[in-house]
Amino acid sequence: MVSLGWGVVRDDLGPVMNRITFLGGVYVAVSLVRDIMTVVAYTDVQKISQEEEDELFDIVSILTLVIALVDVLFYLWIIDSLNATMEYLEGMNQTAKLLRYLRLRSVLLCSILFAVVGSVFGIVDNYDQGIVEDGQQW
């Protein structure tokens, strides 16, 4: 909402607020379902069959992909909105606000870098099966 200029260059977001609320609700719901299914799969290992456990993990994998897609959508939307807001601030000669938005963009780009590095490390660890000791959470 900040990247769209809410409270800085706009007083309200209008119909965009509905999209923000919808995507936020989808993200929360899918994350909640995925986390509950993961906990059920790990805690009820003795109570469920191997087929049911495999089905749960398949569903968890699909939900994880949906969460990743929503994350990417949010990142792209934020970057696009930041650029539009920064162009507006530059056109209005509001250098102090523009400087804050430039810093915000730098923080966002660093978070994207850390997310990509963490994802690559996780994928390599999953396929290589040896970088991180078994059972150790990093």
Indicate whether 16 pLDDT > 80: yes
Answer yes or no: is pLDDT of 21 > 80. yes
Q: What band does 137 get if pLDDT is binned at 50, 70 and 90?
A: low
Q: Is pLDDT at 113 greater than 90 in this prediction?
A: yes
Between residues 82 and 129, the one the model is more confident about: 82
Q: Report pLDDT for 132.
A: 59
pLDDT score for 114:
94
What is the reported pLDDT for 107?
Answer: 93
In this predicted model, what pLDDT tens digit does every residue of 22-52 receive, in sequence order?
A: 888 988 999 999 888 888 777 776 677 777 7
Query: pLDDT over 90 for what percent of the chain?
Result: 12
Name the β-bridge partners of 60. none
The domains of the chain are located at: 16-128
The mean pLDDT of the chain is 82
- Secondary structure of the chain as H, E, C letters: CCCCCECCCECCCCCHHHHHHHHHHHHHHHHHHHHHHHHHHHHCCCCCCHHHHHHHHHHHHHHHHHHHHHHHHHHHHHHHHHHHHHHHHHHCCCHHHHHHHHHHHHHHHHHHHHHHHHHHHHHHHHHHCCCCCCCCCC
Task: Supply the pLDDT for residue 124.
Answer: 79
Question: Alpha-carbon distance 111 to 47, whole Å?
Answer: 40
